[in-house]
């Protein structure tokens, strides 16, 4: 192809690839923080159920279900192999341990 012989074409491809990486990063961050926000809201909402022992397994199930959506961005690793996943787990499970007055 003649597109690779021109220096300006290489610069264009470099700018295009940089732009696509930039767009991918923005979309990834929006997706990441929206799922985190939904996780916190879900855990906060489920605190108001009276039978905590019956809903505990449901909460754990929803937590794993929501956070497993990050598998595509973690190169097919489990979310619990990442260091920040433990911080996320503690941050989301801590409000459940606080008694409701």
For 3, list phi and psi in degrees, rounded to 5.
-70, -25
Q: What is the pLDDT of residues 30-53, one digit of tens each?
A: 777 777 777 777 777 766 665 655
SS3 51: coil
pLDDT category of residue 22 using cuts at 50, 70 and 90: confident
pLDDT category of residue 28 using cuts at 50, 70 and 90: confident
Average pLDDT, stretch 57-70?
A: 63
Neighbours of 40 (CB within 10 A): 14
| Helix, strand counts (H, E) of the chain | 3, 0
Mean of the per-residue pLDDT values of the chain = 65
Determine the angle formed by the axes of helices 83-97 and 7-46, rounding to 10 degrees: 20
CA distance 93 to 74: 22
């Amino acid at each position: 192809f003649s597109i690779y012989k021109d220096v300006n074409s290489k610069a264009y491809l470099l700018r295009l690839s940089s732009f696509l990486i930039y767009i991918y990063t923005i979309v990834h961050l929006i997706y990441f923080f929206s799922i985190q926000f939904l996780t916190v809201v879900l855990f906060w909402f489920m605190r108001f159920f009276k039978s905590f022992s019956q809903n505990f397994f449901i909460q754990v199930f929803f937590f794993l279900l929501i956070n497993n959506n990050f598998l595509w961005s973690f190169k097919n690793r489990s979310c619990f192999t990442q260091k920040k996943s433990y911080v996320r787990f503690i941050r989301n499970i801590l409000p459940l341990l606080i008694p409701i007055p």
